Amino acid sequence: METALPLAIFVVIALIAFLLLSAKKFVDYSRWSKHSRFDLYPIPKEGAEKNKYGGSYYEENEWWEKGRYTSVATEVTDLAPEMFFIRKLFLHQRALWYASFLFHFGIYFLFGWSIMLLVGGLWYPHPEWVSVIIGIVGYIGFILATVGCVGLLIRRIFSASARINMTPVEYFNLFFILAVLVTGIVSWLGFADPITIAHEILTMSLVNVPVIVVVHLIMLGILLIYIPMSRMAHYAGKYFAFHKVMWDNDPNTAGSKVEQDVIEMNSRKPKDHWSAPHIQA
């Protein structure tokens, strides 16, 4: 393509759309009705000592008269292995963990690589060592994510226990991601320099783009817009699943925010007609 200004505009719009739609997903989750209490101990925000044995502020004599101690540091140190290494999957579904870990870890590398491309594209020209580092991070990300994606597809196609929980759209998602990864590998290894393309996109000077790169960028842009609107947006639900469901043990005392939230939720009228007599529109 001799001139590719529309392609550059589309990529920028896709990046902005991904950020805005992801933010909207977080906001949507925050506005959902209050969940049922789980109180699944140990709860990290109780602090390191209580977290060791599953303790709670409830065990304190007249706890309602005392100030409540919570620890953000313990929450972060407990959640980090889950976020980066998918700990629960490792403990409970080891056979699925290997491919899933490679896939997600590869995505983390590619996310970092994308940020580095933005920096490299703006800081242009830059020293050679910058290009070397960006290239290494990109290669690692593409290899890990592609191997993991293929592994997930193989397991979910040939494992009877995995197929039970799969839907057609989930197969589509994996094949779509794999197509983006493969076209990206082909584009950046044999047809174009990703840092140069990033620079030309950011400066709206994109020209002479090979066809395979055009295909990759279009597919990537569509994927970025699609992810926040699909089940792949579970990255937004992770916070709420842990902090607002499993780890929520805030006391429902008179005048507390918990009480106010419950009152507000109870005042909402259902929009749909249910057969149950207590839920009528």
pLDDT for res 199: 94
pLDDT for res 245: 83
Q: Is residue 195 domain-shared with residue 236, that is, in the same domain?
A: no
Q: Is residue 186 domain-shared with residue 250, that is, in the same domain?
A: no
pLDDT for res 119: 93
HEC string for 22-81: HHHHHHHHHCCCCCCCCCCCCCHHHCHHHHHHCCCHHHCCCHHHCCCCCCHHHHHHHHHH
Closest of 223, 224, 221, 228 to residue 7, by C-alpha: 221
Q: Is residue 169 domain-shared with residue 258, that is, in the same domain?
A: no
| Site of tokens 């998918």 | 86
Torsion of CA 162, 167, 168, 169, to 10 degrees: -110
Q: Is residue 214 domain-shared with residue 242, that is, in the same domain?
A: no
Q: Is residue 96 domain-shared with residue 164, that is, in the same domain?
A: yes
Q: Is residue 190 domain-shared with residue 211, that is, in the same domain?
A: yes
pLDDT for res 213: 95
Q: Is residue 37 part of a domain?
A: no
Q: Is residue 196 domain-shared with residue 246, that is, in the same domain?
A: no
Q: Is residue 179 part of a domain?
A: yes
Under a CB-based contact definition with an 8 Å cutoff, are residues 44 and 71 in contact?
yes
For residue 116, give its domain range.
Answer: 1-32+87-229
- The pLDDT averaged over each successive group of 10 residues in the chain (281 residues) is 78 96 92 76 88 89 85 87 88 90 96 95 89 95 97 90 85 96 95 94 90 96 96 86 85 86 81 73 64
pLDDT for res 34: 75
pLDDT for res 80: 87
Q: Is residue 77 domain-shared with residue 172, that is, in the same domain?
A: no
Q: Is residue 203 part of a domain?
A: yes
pLDDT for res 3: 54
Q: Is residue 167 domain-shared with residue 135, that is, in the same domain?
A: yes
Q: Is residue 126 domain-shared with residue 170, that is, in the same domain?
A: yes
pLDDT for res 281: 64
pLDDT for res 178: 97
pLDDT for res 83: 86
Q: Is residue 139 part of a domain?
A: yes
Q: Is residue 76 domain-shared with residue 116, that is, in the same domain?
A: no
Q: Is residue 154 part of a domain?
A: yes
CATH number at residue 160: 1.20.950.20
Q: Is residue 133 part of a domain?
A: yes
Closest of 198, 216, 213, 207 to residue 126, by C-alpha: 198
Q: Is residue 271 part of a domain?
A: no
Q: Is residue 249 domain-shared with residue 213, that is, in the same domain?
A: no
Q: Is residue 273 part of a domain?
A: no
* Number of domains forming the structure of the chain: 2
What letter would DSSP give residue 230? S
